[in-house]
Amino acid sequence: MSTMSARSEPVVAEGFDVAQEAARLWWLGLVTGGLWLLASLVILQFDQASIKTVGIIVGCMFLMSAVQQFILAAVADRLRWLWLTFGVLFAICGIACLAQPEKTFAGVADMLGFLFLVVGVWWTISALMSTQRPLWWLGLISGIAMCVIAFWTAGQFFIDKAYTLLVFAGIWALMHGILDMVGAFQLRRFRDAI
Give the tens place of pLDDT for each residue, 42-99: 777 766 556 777 788 778 888 988 998 998 888 888 888 988 999 999 999 899 888 8
- For 115, counting Cβ atoms within 10 Å of its Cβ (0-12 exposed, 13-18 middle, 19+ buried), the class is buried
Contact 105, 76 (CB under 8 A): no
Encode 99-115 in three state secondary structure. Answer: HCHHHHHHHHHHCHHHH
Q: Give the per-residue pLDDT at 14.
A: 57
Residues 6+ apart with CB under 8 A from 108: 55, 58, 97, 115, 165
Q: Give the chain's end-to-end CA distance (angstroms, integer).
A: 29
pLDDT of the residue at 9: 55
User: CA–CA separation, 13 vs 2, rounded Å?
Assistant: 17
Q: Tell whether the model's pLDDT for residue 122 goes beyond 50.
A: yes
Which of the four pLDDT bands, split at 50, 70 and 90, describes residue 2?
very low
Lowest mean pLDDT among 11-20, 22-31, 57-66: 11-20
Q: Do residues 184 and 26 lie in contact, with contact meaning Cβ atoms separated by under 8 Å?
A: yes
Note the pLDDT of residue 1. 47
Query: Cβ neighbours of residue 194 under 8 Å, at least 6 residues apart?
Result: 20, 23
- Which pTM value belongs to this model? 0.56
Amino acid found at 106:
A
Q: Are 114 and 150 in contact (CB under 8 A)?
A: yes
Q: How much is the mean pLDDT over the chain?
A: 79
Q: What is the pLDDT of residue 17?
A: 66
| Residue count of the chain | 194
pLDDT attached to residue 155: 72
Contact criterion met (CB below 8 Å) for 83 and 73: yes
Read off the DSSP letter of residue 26: T
Question: Which has the higher per-residue pLDDT, 56 or 9?
Answer: 56
CA geometry: angle at 62 spanning 60 and 143, to 5°? Answer: 140
Q: What percent of the chain has pLDDT over 70?
A: 82
pLDDT score at 141? 92
C-alpha torsion 25→28→29→32, nearest 10:
-170
pLDDT band at 133 (very low <50, low <70, confident <90, very high): confident
The average pLDDT across 116-128 equals 89
